[in-house]
Amino acid sequence: MKRAITFLLLLYILVFIPIQNSKGYTTTGTLNNKTLTSDIAIKDGDVVMIGYSDSVSSKTHNDMEIYNINKLDNFIKSTNIGKEDKIRIVEYENNVTGTWVNKIYELNYDGKKIIDIEYDTYSNPNAFIPSQPYIFNKIIKKDYPDGISYRICGSKNDENDDCAKLISFYKNSIVDKKE
């Protein structure tokens, strides 16, 4: 019974209370394709990846655009020095029917661990459903000649074995390179 009440309280906090953080998100209330457009997410400082399934980007001339990736690098720096931080990563899909949210990660570093909440963006298009929190210890960045891969790890000592892909892309997909 206590678990059910705790889960419902957590769900209420995540879904119905305005989503705010120190970075000043303008997205409030329920997350869905209308409240979290790619323009809003980019403006809010979210890491945004837009995939083009049946065309190419006019900005990058390939099938993807990446925005605010420096925010993820700064988040990693915060975790390395034990400084609390938050970040949202939003993946969009674009085709002839429009652009919609494909995946959302909300990462919250409390000074010791990374708490990852992912959202189900398909079951209810009017209100994305948050997952149970997943706990991780670090994020590693792999820099390859043509691409970059960010991996989230369950162990502080793992560089490959216990790490899952968080986001990967070609370097020429980066639209902004601001620091």
pLDDT tens, the chain, 179 aa long: 666 555 544 445 444 443 433 444 555 578 888 899 999 999 999 999 999 988 888 888 889 999 999 999 999 999 999 999 999 999 999 988 889 999 999 999 999 999 999 999 989 888 999 999 999 999 999 999 999 999 999 876 655 567 899 999 999 999 975 54
- Please state, in angstroms and rounded to a whole number, the distance separating the CA atoms of residues 174 and 76: 18
Q: What is the pTM of this model?
A: 0.81
Contacts of 9 (CB under 8 A, 6+ apart): none
The per-residue pLDDT for 2 is 60
Report phi then psi at 5, rounded to 5.
-65, -45
Contact criterion met (CB below 8 Å) for 116 and 107: yes
